[in-house]
Structure 1
Amino acid sequence: MPPPRLPCLAAFLALALVVVVCAAEPDADRAALLDFLAGLGGGRGRINWASSPRVCGNWTGVTCSGDGSRVVALRLPGLGLSGPVPRGTLGRLTALQVLSLRANSLSGEFPEELLSLASLTGLHLQLNAFSGALPPELARLRALQVLDLSFNGFNGTLPAALSNLTQLVALNLSNNSLSGRVPDLGLPALQFLNLSNNHLDGPVPTSLLRFNDTAFAGNNVTRPASASPAGTPPSGSPAAAGAPAKRRVRLSQAAILAIVVGGCVAVSAVIAVFLIAFCNRSGGGGDEEVSRVVSGKSGEKKGRESPESKAVIGKAGDGNRIVFFEGPALAFDLEDLLRASAEVLGKGAFGTAYRAVLEDATTVVVKRLKEVSAGRRDFEQQMELVGRIRHANVAELRAYYYSKDEKLLVYDFYSRGSVSNMLHGKRGEDRTPLNWETRVRIALGAARGIAHIHTENNGKFVHGNIKASNVFLNNQQYGCVSDLGLASLMNPITARSRSLGYCAPEVTDSRKASQCSDVYSFGVFILELLTGRSPVQITGGGNEVVHLVRWVQSVVREEWTAEVFDVELMRYPNIEEEMVEMLQIAMACVSRTPERRPKMSDVVRMLEDVRRTDTGTRTSTEASTPVVDVQNKAESSSAAH
């Protein structure tokens, strides 16, 4: 008796239903997009919408929601689109979250219908020919995180209603014809601001004084004489220091779509397996078919890669690509970096650092390297080593890019300035000095980071560029080191000249830096924390150079130890013993003889000992041990290793 066909029919219907769900298309959004394209002039030949029946995953610049029912992002940059944005088109994309029409020839007033897109988080209309006043109704876009209208012809005043965009992270209105005073916008989440090259005047409002003068350049605005930007980014830092700017890690729309489609395929496979097994259970030919369905095609692996694996994005076969170390969550391409709203953070020994706000509001720091002497193979091998390092006190390398003309490194963005900036920034009544507790945590954290770096590559890895502008505060407020492993890739003469004061005496070529020279540089850094002085100071009208290490050694030799310490530390009671202990550690690290310097693991233990909370356990002898004696003991101890 043949098996009943009703269960088979039900299974087939279920399979058909799954396929239909997976094949859902945003028909209403499709019509809106086609109407939008039909109303524009130029550039349509470079868009495949007319020739491709499926919107999701196929249409140029279009990203759909996970279930394929709505369009959530439209990116059509640099395609030569021209004319005003057609009315009654884009406003129908009510689920749209990101709109990028940058670098086209679009004109007319600000498209009014965009003001109804309540889900919009990123709006990028820069490098077009829009004109007219900015509508106050922009304040309706409460979800907006990035607004870039730069390089257009907008005029009139800045709407005060922009202050209602409380989620705004980046605002770029530069290179327009805006006039009048800058309103006091507030905007607590704002990290990037550029109002340069307009016709604005009057004082910079209080809520925006935290931004650098470059944000207002090319206008006639004034800043109060006593006001300086708070948290000015460090010179040459690959990441502005402080806790990393936290943002919710979420999968991209493409990733969500892939998961849904993958899920549909998996369900279809399960149903197919059940169907074949059930309908063919009386025959012997089903096993082979089931095996083919379960195993899939060529046994390919599916699912998300581990955080340690790399995601590579770039044009296939061109050899130039961005290589990521944190998987798809941080995936972007070189074009994203080029179109990002960017701000120079500073210039250092190895290149220039930029803060970049991407179209999805992700903020990263991009370091553009210069004078790289290493070839591609050596560069990539070194980046592979650096990219694998994971430690709370080491700034992680998120991605890198290599080509003949450009070498880029990508780091997290941090919200505060480097330790160099904290120590040597403008000193005045409005400045908050680094307290002793913070300085000890900075030293201890940095030491832990360097000690961990020295364990990498079978215990042979060298940082090579330890200095205050490469040390930051992590989210636990401990020191965090960056720029590791770059010295061996750079022109040695340039690298060494930019690190004067930190280089160990035996290092004449930065490519020959060692773990011992790292210890010396760290000792200079501790002295910098203790004294508040730069490693090298020019005095006497430029005729005299004072090296910090030599100056401290001479002061200690004369037993004027109290003269060493930063006057800003004198306000804190009961820290003299800890300061002397820290000085003893620093003096051991800057010994002229490499073999007499302690290992970084020993330095960590000594610094942890400084942090003992029960100071009453110190004996009187221990508390009063002269600096030189302890230095000699540390050197003897290190020589025994």
Structure 2
Amino acid sequence: MMAVSFSAATVVGFVLITLLSLSGERVNSEPIQDKQALLAFLSQTPHANRVQWNASVSACTWVGIKCDDNQSYVYSLRLPGVGLVGPVPPNTLGRLTQLRVLSLRSNRLSGPIPADFSNLTLLRSLYLQGNQLSGEFPTGLTQLERLNRLVLSSNNFTGPIPFAVSNLTHLTVLFLENNGFSGKLPNIQAPNLTNFNVSNNKLNGSIPQSLSNFPASAFSGNLDLCGGPLKACNPFFPAPAPSPESPPIIPAHKKSKKLSTAAIVAIAVGSALALFLLLLVLFLCLRKRRRQQPAKAPKPPVATRSVETEAGTSSSKDDITGGSTEAERNKLVFFNGGVYSFDLEDLLRASAEVLGKGSVGTSYKAVLEEGTTVVVKRLKDVVVTKREFEMTMEVLGKIKHDNVVPLRAFYFSKDEKLLVSDYMSAGSLSALLHGSRGSGRTPLDWDNRMKIALSAARGIAHLHVSGKVVHGNIKSSNILLRPDNDASVSDFGLNPLFGTSTPPNRVAGYRAPEVVETRKVTFKSDVYSFGVLLLELLTGKAPNQASLGEEGIDLPRWVQSVVREEWTAEVFDVELMRYHNIEEEMVQLLQIAMACVSTVPDQRPAMQEVVRMIEDMNRAETDDGLRQSSDDPSKGSDGHTPPAGSRTPPSVTPTP
């Protein structure tokens, strides 16, 4: 009896020891096969130093990797914007058969997606946007029937979108925009599809009924697409065949008969007589017009003040197009109400310092002998005539607003075109925001960033509403500051001087998508550029700097990619993290900025609406210098307020 008991106890003990040992192995386990696949992927893919996986520790501790609770397999791989370059090597990621989430967005991956991605049968979310992937739509992805989110936007995919996409019945998000897909849209039957976009491809034909409930922006940029919600398709009507009752169609050459000689002579004489009469009437009309034309009236003077610098000449108010060529060469034209009293000779004698070389010319700080300091911009690539130049200057010289740098004078000759404006001692927003970030730097705090945003918006809105002028070159180096950080916009309205051969706003990162193609700036493209400026204030990143992820990604796309992953806090400048209780305002300004950088111009608010939205953020902070100015730029030149737009900042829903 005791032997039996002992034997049972031994068995029980053995079982317990075995279970404990198995439990211990599970605790200390790691996904060996997945680890090998990941190391193979990283070793075959060039990458930046941001990914440093240590082979001596568990893969579940690596950056971008998440494992299940038992650490037996990898279920999430996220490596966005880490500098991955080149093709995705086959027989690497395709071995992660338990993977649920894969994000390789915002890198420089190229080539086709490996066929073995079809092994990722448990994949729920795939984010590959913002790369340089190419080839036809990866058919292996159509076998991943559990996919909820598929994002292939902003790559170089071509060819048709296969009908097999309808196999992905669990899709909620399908983004294929900004590629080169062609052919007809398949009738995608995904009952839960709520986010869909195929804009800016080469698709044609009619939009299937199953997709017609999405907005027009989801299909824009495909010139040959038609049907709801786009314009209706033109039905094809074949040419009607002749009916049996119709008389037979006789070829024209069999119906015609030769004209007689008399008919030919009559036609020739009649034509000659008609031509003679026409010339006679024309001659008489010209003679009568010359008799009635009055003497040529003198041209009215232009509303400017000319200062002659030739020895022995005096100031005149003659038309700036008059006078000899030699005199014009020494004429500096001031606008009425000018505050300066110097001439071109004074400018030539002034000590000059280069402030910067911009997209329209080089700016100099000129200190005159009398102590006056001005900015002289030497324009380049001007293609318009002298008269066209003067007409543009006349319009720009009339613009007066606290948040617009006034144009004081100009000079035009065959070889030189100069603009004179006030010198702003505090420099530009670009220098303040992106200057040295060393230990001695004074950070730009949140209140001053808001002040700059609001005052710059007021200046641009004044240009649009009162001046009827498109700025055309909004960027942080053209936002100049006073010592109190009140901002004024400069270099406005100059695009007409350069014609269509020179792209407006040549600084990469600020241009609206439509301007890149048409080279034509509009009020709405100004709003886009201002939205980029707001993102620059929020992120502390220059729109054209290389560290925005990788080459080819601009600031709006970088922000969108981060927001889509619900990592909104990572968007904001680290210098703002020291300030408390500003999170809500930062998100509000981010929402305004994202509305401004909408890819569809009609979806962007007008600048006066942008001013109102920023002001609404600061109604409770009127003691901080953010109160509404007396010359509200949202009011027209007659003082009346245009119809109010939405006063609530638009919401930005994060999308994958």
TM-score scaled by length of structure 1? 0.46
TM-score scaled by length of structure 2? 0.45
